[in-house]
Structure 1
Amino acid sequence: MSSHVPGKVVFVGAGPGSADLITLRGARWLAQAEVVLYDALTDPTLRELAPHALWVHVGKRGFCDSTAQTQINALLVKHAREHAVVVRLKGGDPSVFGRLEEELEALAQAGIQSEVVPGVTAAIAAAAAIQRPLTRRGKGRSVSLTTAMTQAGELHATRTADTEVFYMAGKQLAALARRLQQAGWAPDTPVSVLSRAGWPDQLHSDHTVATLPQASLLHAGRPSVVTVGAGAAALRGVNKPSGAEVPLPARSPLKP
């Protein structure tokens, strides 16, 4: 019988958008990786941190027919049995709509060690990009992160917190507006839409629940984060930043 000891799988949150949003711990694990299984929305520049690793694309977008989850689970187990360090590179934070549960369970059942390195999730990146704190003293005491679409293709909208952030809602903004009103949000409630959060070409627009359908064409075909309620309101005296106006470095963001 083989005495080979299985390797370790490290789930690394790459953050949303540009490569330099990854954490230092995540970058260090990438540098040690022999195999990297990466998501569709991770920055290709991150390959500079693991140039000698085998990079395997296992991208998923929503519930469409990308790489099957069972196949990803099998690949994680296979590579962990053959290599010392396997990195599962996920966009944003692995624990937020990243299907982390299934992959952790598959590794546990196979007796393979794992570790999770957190990352910046899209809701936080969107709030930072437009300088709209998700919590506000006295009027924004709670935040809810929600996926707008269910696996069955149903659109859901809730009002369970002072600030609601909806992921993966870009294709359904008009329908989301109707659902928000049905959930009890007033038509004049502020709504912020930011697509491709964390990337140089991120795009932001302000609306109300009533005017949210107008954002459909502006953000068409782009991964979007929709913030509703206290965290979407503009701050007094603060100009709205534009990601397109931020000068980008000529060199790689991963090099000093």
Structure 2
Amino acid sequence: MEYSDKNSVAPGQITPSNLGVNGLLTVIGAGPGDVELITLKAIKALQIADVVLYDALVNDVLLEYAPNAEKIFVGKRRGCYAYQQEQINELIVNRARMRKHVVRLKGGDPFVFGRGAEEMEHAAAQGITVAMVPGISSSLSVPAAQHIPVTKRGAAESFWVITGTTKEHKLSGDIALAAKSNATVVILMGMSKLAQIVSLFKKEGKSETPIAIIQNGTRENEKIGIATIGTIEEEVENRQLANPAIIIIGEVVKHRENIIKIAQEQELVGASITDY
């Protein structure tokens, strides 16, 4: 069956009555990690879920919003997959065809390197009604929570959000293009390729460009390292930074230092800035 408007539901129309003959799949963005950064619409959809398939980056506390649902972990931890993508697709189809409301709960926003679009296409092709509730993307919110804007007048007029590792497990070619620009560069899933990323920026004469790496952004165990392209690898080693982490490169990183300096001068550090 081909996808059509008859197989889709607008977010405001997600109710048990929308199940249809073959059930309903709702793809939901859980936000960057802080449980308070999920949307009200997402919580309402979870409350009427029959099944929740959730990823590793989803805060487990959010599962409490679906007290009556079957909960299945389908994420990846330390390179080990609970389910391969094909198996996740089959779980979605099998549960939905039992006339159930299946929620696919993903970290950040499911349409930003989250395979949410692929899963919706697969379900719709099987005659399953689909809906999507956007989430707060970690690519913007994690830097913001540490007082790093992706754009700032006089510092950056645009930004790139790039996956560090392609499906072929190679470094994205877009990073080399981004390194030539004056834009802010936000790289997800790039820690394993950090040396290559640094090398590309050095080739463009950007050894002094500020860079931030934020691990476990917005969570209680958040860690951050601030350096330059030329010194970041040493900073990563000193702070023991690792995945899951987001890399932010550009002059906007200096905004955090400016805020800290102003807060210190005003004696407002404890009230206005997140400590390391």
TM-score, normalised via structure 1 length: 0.86
* Deviations, residues 211-235 of structure 1 (Å, cap 9, x unaligned): 1212332244431100011332235
Residue 204, structure 1, aligned to residue 193, structure 2: no
State the 1:95 CA deviation.
0.4
After superposing on structure 2, the runs of 4+ consecutive aligned residues of structure 1 that deviate more than 4 Å are 61-66
Q: What does residue 247 of structure 2 align with?
A: 226
Q: What does residue 249 of structure 1 align with?
A: none
Q: How does 1:136-215 map to 2 (within 5 A)?
A: 136-156=152-172, 157-158=175-176, 159=178, 160=181, 162-182=183-203, 184=204, 186-215=206-235
Percent identity between matched residues is 34
Q: Distance in 1 between matches of 2:227 and 2:275?
A: 18
State the 1:198 CA deviation.
1.5
- Secondary structure in 1 matching 2:259: coil
Q: What does residue 264 of structure 2 align with?
A: none
Q: What does residue 242 of structure 1 align with?
A: 274
Q: What does residue 74 of structure 1 align with?
A: 90
**Is the Cα–Cα contact under 8 Å of residues 203 and 243 in structure 1 kept in the other structure?**
no
Q: Distance in 2 between matches of 1:116 and 1:230?
A: 35
Q: Distance in 2 between matches of 1:146 and 1:61?
A: 21
Unaligned residue ranges in structure 1 (runs of 5+): 245-256
- Secondary structure in 2 matching 1:232: helix
State the 1:90 CA deviation.
0.3
**Is the Cα–Cα contact under 8 Å of residues 146 and 256 in structure 2 kept in the other structure?**
no
The number of residues matched between the two structures is 240
- Secondary structure in 1 matching 2:260: coil
Q: Which of the numbers 43, 65, 78 marks the counterpart of 2:59?
A: 43
* Deviations, residues 16-38 of structure 1 (Å, cap 9, x unaligned): 11222110000000001010010
Unaligned residue ranges in structure 2 (runs of 5+): 1-19, 262-272
* Deviations, residues 176-221 of structure 1 (Å, cap 9, x unaligned): 2113223x25111111111101101111111111112123322444
The worse-fitting range, judged by mean Cα deviation, of 110-119 and 215-224 is 215-224
Q: Which of the numbers 126, 134, 146 marks the counterpart of 1:130?
A: 146
The worse-fitting range, judged by mean Cα deviation, of 147-156 and 98-107 is 147-156
For 2:223, the aligned partner's letter is L
TM-score, normalised via structure 2 length: 0.80
Q: Distance in 2 between matches of 1:235 and 1:220?
A: 19
**Is the Cα–Cα contact under 8 Å of residues 22 and 97 in structure 2 kept in the other structure?**
yes
**Is the Cα–Cα contact under 8 Å of residues 63 and 151 in structure 1 kept in the other structure?**
no
Q: How does 1:111-126 map to 2 (within 5 A)?
A: 111-126=127-142
**Is the Cα–Cα contact under 8 Å of residues 144 and 163 in structure 1 kept in the other structure?**
yes
State the 1:138 CA deviation.
3.5
Shift in CA distance, 139/243, structure 1 to aligned 2, threshold 3 Å: closer
The worse-fitting range, judged by mean Cα deviation, of 135-144 and 148-157 is 148-157
Q: Distance in 2 between matches of 1:78 and 1:54?
A: 13
**Is the Cα–Cα contact under 8 Å of residues 55 and 76 in structure 2 kept in the other structure?**
yes
**Is the Cα–Cα contact under 8 Å of residues 143 and 214 in structure 2 kept in the other structure?**
no
Shift in CA distance, 87/202, structure 1 to aligned 2, threshold 3 Å: same
State the 1:65 CA deviation.
4.3
- Secondary structure in 1 matching 2:130: strand
